[in-house]
Structure 1
Amino acid sequence: MATILNVNDTDASRYLVTRILEMAGHRVIEAATGGEALRLAQELRPDLVVLDVQLPDLNGYEVAARLRASPETASIAVMHTSATFITADKRVLGLDSGADAYLTQPFEPAELIATVKSLLRLRHAEQEMRLRADQLAEADRRKDEFLAMLAHELRNPLAAIMTAIGILERKSSDDAKEVRMRSIIHRQTHHLARLVDDLLDVSRITRGKVQLRRERMDLRTVLQQVFTLIRPVSEGRELRLETSLPDFPLWLQADATRLEQVFMNLLDNATKYTDAGGAVSVQASQEGVDGSARAVVRIQDTGIGIPANKLPAIFELFSQVDESLERTRGGLGIGLTLVRNLVELHGGTISASSPGVGRGSEFVVKLPLTVAPPALASTTIASDESKRHRRILLVEDNSDARQALKDLLELWGHQVEVAQDGMNGVARALEARPDLALVDIGLPGLDGYRVAQELRARVGQAIRLVAITGYGGPEDRHRALQAGFDHHLVKPVKPDELDRLLTDL
């Protein structure tokens, strides 16, 4: 049984409509003015309003418009009726004002009932769709929470492994097999870390939550860094890596970290889909001049190629070139989606082409160039003081990660105190007065945010605070800085990255 609000200032007409609706099994509420109709609609939330156009205060068009404008009543179905305003332009005006149907009087009872049934069916379908949308939104929220927790749980062991291999790589070995094993662990750990980052980043991008940290930079610097990282991978897969960069800078206003992510994904794909003995080529150049100038990066491989029917959807989420049961090439099918979105966030474009299966492929990234920066008058050289050994407090509840990072810091010559929870961390900081504290966020008892707040309140700026955490979203970074941290690092932290941070501090 539906609840229907019947609005008409003529007693006889209102009574007739009410009787027809009640005989059809509906519950009917009556109103004689537009103001009363709006009040009852707000209070009772009927399923449908049968609304006469000619009313003594507000006309039916205005009532319908106000019902649609209010979030509380916007979903109520509205049917206009009128014996006076029956021309086509009046019906159009009624529908434009927010009505879902328009009946001219006199009408047959069957016509009224059929129209009411139709509108109630539509309203029921809308309610089902709205409920489904709410359920999907809730499921999406839960997914995001799960991904954030999953990343945190995966990054903790990754941090310990990456730090440990960083220590091992600093010790020479004459055992060729041991060197190979270290290299394998290093490559696979970094690969797993990239998969975790890609999984989270694609979720953030689809929700519009990725913000670029733009700065003026030379694209060649990013590409050279990527070449350094990918060269061991290509050599391990017995591939030739051929690179060609211009002898002039390619200035961009861009997020260097995100662009490194773009080209690492593309080159990792190129090496992954190219068999041993093949080649991967990277060429960077400039096209256009002045305001239309763009940097162009072409990545070509001699790999398995892309079937013609796969090319149109190659950048879609979960799209896979290798769909065989063996899945020998691996991957989650999210890397190219992430790449496309990051390139587009920079105002650029990316395209893919392939002559066919077994004949390789080419990806072309184009990014808008910016004006070259002015030449620096002088170069500032870091002082010896910036590289001095420091007194460091490490607050980390994961025992393996804590021990590995402590060993690495001590290998660099720092004096390290450790604490395994937030309360102990605050106590050790107040007692030992370290120069710097590396603090995990997900600590038992007193979390990292509260540790930072407590130390800022009690020792002020006398200590530098660095958050090291598995939670890596922009909102997590913002919250860390708001709590009092000077820097926010996401696990697993690369040893070189940590070393640079300690030097800069």
Structure 2
Amino acid sequence: MVEPRQATVLNVNDDDANRYLVNRLLSLAGYNVLEAATGMAALLLAQQHRPDVVILDVKLPDISGYEVCERLRADPHTASMAVLHTSATFVTSDKKVRGLEGGADAYLTQPFEGAELVATVKSLLRLRHAEQVARHRANELAEMDRRKDEFLAMLGHELRNPLAAIMTAIGILERRPAGDDKDARMRGIIQRQATHLARLVDDLLDVSRITRDKVELRPGRVDLVPVLRQVLQVMQPLAESRGLGLDVTLPSGPLWLRADATRLEQIFTNLLDNALKYTDAGRVRLHVEQEGVDGSAQAVVRVQDSGIGIPPEVLPHIFELFAQADTSLERTRGGLGIGLTLVRKLVQLHGGEVTARSDGPGHGSEFVVKLPLDPTLGAPAPARNAVDLRRARRVLVVEDNPDARQAMRDLLELWGHQVTVAPDGLQGVALAVSQPPELALVDIGLPGLDGYRVAQTLRAQVGNGIRLVAMTGYGDPEGRDQALRAGFDRHLIKPVKPDELDRILSEL
């Protein structure tokens, strides 16, 4: 803390005798003392010398001590000074309340003993020191949190780049017949594990967004049934590989929601993955139905398993960050302990609720998600003719990762497109200007000229006739907004699934 001989006290009082007496008491106690007789002089001295403590009489000839205190608190340069109000007359409780609410730290009424004054100043200095330590620690933690976010963003980018090449290569292999059963099994293993790794990367990066309450939705008209079918396409092979049954009951009609389809997929992928992960034998059931009608209609999704169950003491905390039902099995079961926290957050953002139930260890568990339906949403417009969607196009791929660049080229050529490639932004712009493509897939993290500047340059030199799609390993929402401002038509986060890429190409 600030020692007496290091501490500076500003004594503000228009009474010469009182001011002199307080000055002497403080000087004898070892403090460096400044003095002022008016409120404006006190504010000037506070700005110039930044005292540790201000002893402030409430009645001054120009402005009141209350107003001086409020001005000190309003100025960031003086806001942290300790303020001790004094008064030579009896002060009612409402005046004391006004002073304390205005920012004063303590109140003394004259006459007071010198020892009481010095002890109060010492107490305020201890308080100020504690606040300074806490503020410094808070600033350090904020800086550490900022660096952590930067590291996670960079980690996600570096992990997604190789994953992009792997996923694209898998997409090419899937379109060719397997040589034998073993070949087919190996492809399935690569597909499942790459998908699992991509999901872990997404969940890891969402930790930071959860803790900072930065998880965002991009809602649109969504039929929940096709979303669940898409999730099941990934989960069914995983269930088969673990020797588990996966029973599914879906409604015959659509379940229309105002929702973010990607986040819905994330919700139910996490729930089904958890159910399969914690079930050694038996079955996992997915049951979907509609409850209620009109304004009270909601989709109810139940994920039930016959797995290890959840202990009753863990159940109330199962949705908390890093909570796991059995920490002794943590490494054998895998996972980061953040999936259910993300599920709850995403369900709540959609206006729904999620609950968990279990009869205890060995009795399985059930998770129930309820999401509000929007009966005003109609069926989407009819899809365009499939022949039109798959017409051959001139496509430029700008990607600095050689494996990802080659894999993307092979996949696009397999679909019948005419493809040119560039390893950096400068060459990409040169190719696009000399041989304008119909569509360009541009990585954001390019050397020399980044993807944003590539888009801006192409919009300026080639115009709006070219369709631009950003591909990036950075998954933050700000990146998407920046991409659209730079001139991109779409923003894709790596690794891009071949089916998703095919759909985007068809829509543009």
Q: TM-score, normalised by structure 1?
A: 0.96
Q: State the alpha-carbon separation in 1 of the partners of residues 418 and 141 from structure 2.
A: 51
- The answer to whether the aligner puts 1:455 opposite 2:458 as a matched pair is yes
Question: In structure 2, what is the equivalent of residue 265 of structure 1?
Answer: 270
How far apart are residue 89 of structure 1 and its match?
3.0
2:148 pairs with 1:165: no
Q: Per-residue deviation at 1:73? A: 2.2
Q: Deviations over 1:193-225 (max 9, x none)?
A: 001011112212322323211112222222222
Establish whether residue 473 from structure 1 lines up as the match of residue 476 from structure 2: yes
Q: Which residue of 2 aligns with 1:223?
A: 228
- After superposition, residues 29-40 of structure 1 pair within 5 angstroms as 29-40=34-45
Q: Distance in 2 between matches of 1:139 and 1:220?
A: 42
Q: Is the 8 A contact 2:324 2:330 kept in 1?
A: no
Tell me how far 1:490 sits from its aligned partner. Answer: 0.8
| 2:342 alignment counterpart | 338
CA shift, 1:321, in A, is 2.0
Q: Does 1:86 align with 2:86?
A: no
In structure 2, the CA distance between the partners of 1:325 and 1:314, relative to structure 1 (3 Å rule), is closer
Q: 1:244 aligns with which of 242, 249, 252?
A: 249
- Residues 116 and 404 of structure 1: is their aligned pair in 2 closer, same or farther, counting only changes over 3 Å? same
Distance 1:350 1:225 in 2: 21
Q: What is the TM-score of this pair, normalised by structure 2?
A: 0.95
Give 2:59's aligned residue.
54
Q: CA, structure 1 residues 168+149, in 2 after alignment: closer, same or farther (shift >3 Å)?
A: same
More moved, 10-19 vs 383-392: 383-392
Alignment of 1:137-148 (within 5 A): 137-148=142-153
SS of the counterpart of 1:295? strand
In the alignment, is the contact (CA less than 8 A) between 2:12 and 2:36 conserved in 1? Answer: yes
Alignment match, 2:184: 179
Aligned to 1:483: 486
Partner of 1:105: 110
Alpha-carbon distance change, 369 to 449 in structure 1, aligned in 2, over 3 angstroms: same
Displacement over 4 Å in runs of 4+: none
Question: Could you list the per-position Cα deviations for residues 455-495 of structure 1 after superposition, in whole angstroms to 9, with x for gaps in the alignment?
Answer: 11111112111111111211111111111111111111101
Give the share of equivalent positions with the same residue, in percent: 70
1:3 and 2:8 correspond: yes
Which is further off, 153-162 or 239-248? 239-248
The number of residues matched between the two structures is 503
Matches of 2:250 and 2:108, distance apart in 1: 72
Q: Provide the C-alpha distance between the structure 2 equivalents of 1:37 and 1:196, rounded to a whole number of angstroms.
A: 57
Q: Deviations over 1:314-336 (max 9, x none)?
A: 11111122312772100011111
5+ residue gaps in structure 1? Answer: none
Q: 1:200 to 1:344 in 2, by over 3 A?
A: same
1:432 and 2:435 are equivalent in the alignment = yes
Three-state SS of the structure 1 residue aligned to 2:34 is strand
Shift of 1:433: 1.5
Q: Distance between the aligned counterparts of 2:403 and 2:179, measured in 1?
A: 27
Q: Is contact 1:465–1:485 with CA below 8 Å preserved after alignment?
A: yes
> What RMSD in Å do the two structures reach over aligned CA positions?
1.6
Deviation at 1:383, TM superposition (A): 6.3
Equivalent residue, structure 1, for 2:3? none
Matching of residue 307 in structure 1 with residue 311 in structure 2:
yes
Which 10-residue stretch deviates more, 262-271 or 204-213? Answer: 204-213
Matched, 1:321 2:325: yes
Letter of the structure 2 residue corresponding to residue 434 of structure 1? P
Q: CA deviation at 1:375?
A: 5.7
Letter in 1 for 2:217: L
Q: Which moves more between the two structures, 215-224 or 94-103?
A: 215-224
Rate the CA distance shift 1:356–1:498 in 2: closer, same or farther, 3 A. same
Using the alignment, how far apart are the partners of 1:287 and 1:125 within structure 2?
Answer: 56
1:374 Cα offset (Å): 4.1
Q: What secondary structure sits across from 2:55 in the alignment?
A: strand
| Residue number in structure 2 paired with 1:446 | 449
- Alignment of 1:364 with 2:374, yes or no, is no
The AA in structure 1 aligned to 2:99 is: G
Q: Is the CA contact 1:464–1:485 (under 8 Å) kept in the aligned structure 2?
A: yes
Helix, strand or coil for the counterpart of 1:157?
helix
- Comparing 201-210 and 125-134, the one that deviates more: 201-210
Contact 1:193 1:492 (8 Å CA) reproduced: yes
Q: Counterpart of 2:86 in structure 1: which amino acid? A: T
Matched, 1:399 2:402: yes
* Structure 2 residues without counterparts, runs of 5 or longer: 1-5
